[in-house]
Structure 1
Amino acid sequence: MIAALARGRAGLMLALQSGLAAGLAWFVAHDLFGRPMPFFAPIAAVITLGSSVGQRLRRTSELVIGVAVGIGLGDGIILLIGTGPIQIGVIVLLAVLLATAVGGGAPLIVQSASSAVLVATLTSTSGQPWTRFLDALVGGGIGLAVMSVLLPLNPLTVVSRAADPALRAFTAGLHDVARGLTAGDPAVVQGALERLRAAEGTFAAFRTAIDAARENVAFAPARWRSRGALAQYVEGADQLTYALRNVRVMVRRAQTALNDQEPVPDVLPASIQHLGDAVDLLRQEWDRGVEPLATRERALRAVAESGRAYAEGVGYSGGVVVAQVRTAVADLLRATGIEYAEATRLVRDAIGWRGRPHGARKRQIRPRQS
């Protein structure tokens, strides 16, 4: 019941947008343009809104054009050669060819074809062929206006909902790695690796949501005040993707370390546990819109523990794990808004490298042979 209410609340804005767009599309086409039955106007408006959630403005514009082109083609062909199975086939063929020729993506192609079929099967040949085409343009334009200007989605809500599963999966994967290293169980580490691989999909959705939110903020004056808070997500997303890739390398070496029975100091899984905690803290602090100070503190604690693990003694793969923890922490610090040079300095200080010559650092990080 609670889950159903949460889903309903999440879809409330889309429902409001759809209702407003459908009513406005009918009003404009019927009352302002004098169309007696402009049912394609609200249909196009709702299709535009329903298919544009999380999509970029260019794809949504393609959708509007696709609906209008399909309806226009359908009307024209029916007027010339009537209706029937052959005519439907010809309409779809031409709609797909035209959409492909202009370089349209899947939304344009699909909507051109489906709208043409709708005209060919559900409407009569009476009336002028351009009228339903006009209805579709009106409806699609109203849908875009509602989505971008009149009642835009909150970009922070969109991005936060996309970031939440990505960061939760990242956190869970790191915690599983720590648990597997503590138990000396390569199978648990392998499961964590699979979880982190699956997280790539959630990170892709996160990036898509950021792109959509940036366009929403750019075209919706009512959401301009969200630019500052949204910047945390925009600036940090790439760095989190880099961190995820480095962590996946780390996990593979952790599994190899267990398979080769290398020494694993207790502070090494503790370091990875802290790294997972830091990712989860970032999720919480981003959601609250506060500066991620706790994230930075926990990330630096992770790198300090990795330095202790190296000092206590690790094998070759263990040395790679330590190095990847440091790299992932630097990525995570950059995701919190710290510049590259400062992030590198903080990592070196946390390990205890401050004041050491560069060559000494290089010798220190070389993994030991098991």
Structure 2
Amino acid sequence: MIGVARDRADAVAKRARAGLMLALQAGLAAGLAWYLAHDVIGRPAPFFAPIAAVITLASSVGQRMRRTAELVAGVAVGIGLGDGIILLIGTGPVQIGLIVLLAVLVATAVGGGPPLIVQSASSAVLVATLTVQTGHPWTRFFDALVGGGVGLAVMTVLLPINPLSVVRRAADPALRAFTAGLHEAALGLSDGDPDVIEAALARLRSAEGTFAAFGTAIEAARENVAFAPARWHSRGALAQYVAGAPQLTYALRNVRVMIRRAQTALNDRERVPEVLPASVRHLGDAVDLLRQEWARGVEPVETRERALRAAAESGRAYDTGLGYSGGVVVAQIRTSVADLLRATGVEYAEATRQVRVAVGWRGRPHGARNRAARARPPAPPSGRSPEPGAG
């Protein structure tokens, strides 16, 4: 019980630390928005200014700048429409329905996404139900603009979130899931158990969501760095993630094809040499090393070495003789290794060359290469590798 309580306390503390920056941003933005609207502009009760500032900050975490702008515009449009309708025809259930209808229509007509539509409607409802008309129909509209502008300024200039922290928090679960899926696939190959292979495939399917969150975090971080001078020093370290994320997505897709083929090989009772699961395990180790080296902000040298070792082991497996599906597994390992090398910053041509050298084709006599090719099953009629999803 003590251990469980300690784990829960640690989880609460971790969540609190993660939310500390957002709390500081929200507090600063709310105070500044009230100060500007009340003390500088002279509004007697500008409560929509701090509300808009906090809504902007809370809804923009991990989202793109365009969505944040939509939220600010939505608040302003909803308040403006609400004030206008109340001025003309008063308040009541019919007026509330009309205000929401018009707010949604306007947001949709200008091409707004869900943030703009939802915020326009909810802001209009707030105006219609919680405020009393003061004779100045557009003042709350400007309060919302002031608050939204302050929220954006705090988020991008005054107190920007560290983009590297955001990206690392998003990358960690994605790369851990990728590593676990590869290690589980290696275990299934080693034990000859198709069910374990299926579990590994399911794990990697679920990793798609974490990779999507990783990509979203990168987009948000890129915009944060672009608009926040205080975070410009993070551009170099962030570049590793920005350049590597697309290649990791390609690697994930290729690995899923590889695992499906590995399952087919087991179901067809093809021979699986020991070095083949070792190759898959080394590939998983390489992904985990990449997570660690990116987190430390160092050149991913160990990642490259382990990835090329995976390629070398796959070449050894190929030389021992494999069935058709086993040959596809080797081909997908080679492709995934090339993707992983490119994720570390290696150019395409150089990554391909390094993989060929590691596998053992570079420098091998042409006749020996042909004999090895004749020992393999024929390629598909098209001469192309199986499409993703085959098997």
| TM-score, with length taken from structure 2 | 0.92
| Shift in alpha-carbon separation, 1:365–1:168, aligned structure 2, 3 A | farther
For the pair 1:303 / 2:311, whether they are aligned, the reply is: yes
Following the alignment from structure 2 to structure 1, what is the Cα–Cα distance between the partners of residues 49 and 214? 32
- Aligned match of 1:150 in 158, 163, 169? 158
| Shift in alpha-carbon separation, 1:83–1:335, aligned structure 2, 3 A | same
The root-mean-square deviation of aligned C-alpha atoms, in Å, is 1.5
User: Does structure 1 retain, via aligned residues, the 8 Å contact 2:319–2:372?
Assistant: no
| Aligned equivalent of 1:224 | 232
What's the secondary structure of 1:129's corresponding residue?
coil
| Aligned equivalent of 1:280 | 288
Deviation at 1:343, TM superposition (A): 0.6
| Aligned equivalent of 1:196 | 204
Deviation at 1:368, TM superposition (A): 2.6
For the pair 1:369 / 2:377, whether they are aligned, the reply is: yes
Deviation at 1:183, TM superposition (A): 1.1
Deviation at 1:126, TM superposition (A): 2.1
User: Does structure 2 retain, via aligned residues, the 8 Å contact 1:315–1:367?
Assistant: no
| Aligned equivalent of 1:66 | 74
For the pair 1:86 / 2:94, whether they are aligned, the reply is: yes
Following the alignment from structure 1 to structure 2, what is the Cα–Cα distance between the partners of residues 78 and 268? 72
- Aligned match of 1:122 in 130, 135, 139? 130
User: Does structure 2 retain, via aligned residues, the 8 Å contact 1:217–1:226?
Assistant: yes
User: Does structure 2 retain, via aligned residues, the 8 Å contact 1:318–1:367?
Assistant: no
Following the alignment from structure 2 to structure 1, what is the Cα–Cα distance between the partners of residues 373 and 185? 22
Following the alignment from structure 2 to structure 1, what is the Cα–Cα distance between the partners of residues 195 and 327? 21
Q: Residue type matched to 1:268 in 2? A: L
- The within-5 A match list for 1:1-370 is 1-356=9-364, 364=372, 368-369=376-377
What's the secondary structure of 1:141's corresponding residue?
helix
| Shift in alpha-carbon separation, 1:228–1:358, aligned structure 2, 3 A | farther
Runs of 4+ in 1 over 3 A off after TM superposition: 356-367
Q: Residue type matched to 1:103 in 2? A: G
Following the alignment from structure 2 to structure 1, what is the Cα–Cα distance between the partners of residues 14 and 369? 52
Over the matched positions of the two proteins, sequence identity in percent amounts to 81
User: Does structure 2 retain, via aligned residues, the 8 Å contact 1:257–1:315?
Assistant: yes
Map Cα deviations across residues 226-267 of structure 1 (whole Å, 9 max, x no partner).
000000000101100010010010000000000000000011
What's the secondary structure of 1:51's corresponding residue?
helix
| Shift in alpha-carbon separation, 1:343–1:361, aligned structure 2, 3 A | farther
Following the alignment from structure 1 to structure 2, what is the Cα–Cα distance between the partners of residues 70 and 366? 71
User: Does structure 1 retain, via aligned residues, the 8 Å contact 2:80–2:140?
Assistant: yes
| TM-score, with length taken from structure 1 | 0.97
Map Cα deviations across residues 2-45 of structure 1 (whole Å, 9 max, x no partner).
01101100110000000000000000000000001100000000
Following the alignment from structure 1 to structure 2, what is the Cα–Cα distance between the partners of residues 78 and 361? 82
Gaps of 5+ in 1: none
Deviation at 1:87, TM superposition (A): 0.5
User: Does structure 1 retain, via aligned residues, the 8 Å contact 2:189–2:277?
Assistant: yes
What's the secondary structure of 1:190's corresponding residue?
helix
Q: Residue type matched to 1:288 in 2? A: R
Following the alignment from structure 2 to structure 1, what is the Cα–Cα distance between the partners of residues 216 and 349? 29
| Shift in alpha-carbon separation, 1:281–1:362, aligned structure 2, 3 A | farther
User: Does structure 2 retain, via aligned residues, the 8 Å contact 1:163–1:283?
Assistant: yes
User: Does structure 2 retain, via aligned residues, the 8 Å contact 1:319–1:365?
Assistant: no
Following the alignment from structure 1 to structure 2, what is the Cα–Cα distance between the partners of residues 365 and 127? 86
| Shift in alpha-carbon separation, 1:367–1:152, aligned structure 2, 3 A | farther
Q: Residue type matched to 1:78 in 2? A: I
How many residues are treated as equivalent by the alignment?
Answer: 370
Greater CA deviation, 351-360 or 6-15? 351-360
| Shift in alpha-carbon separation, 1:217–1:350, aligned structure 2, 3 A | same
Deviation at 1:313, TM superposition (A): 1.7
| Shift in alpha-carbon separation, 1:279–1:78, aligned structure 2, 3 A | same
What's the secondary structure of 1:11's corresponding residue?
helix
Deviation at 1:363, TM superposition (A): 7.3
Following the alignment from structure 2 to structure 1, what is the Cα–Cα distance between the partners of residues 20 and 220? 19
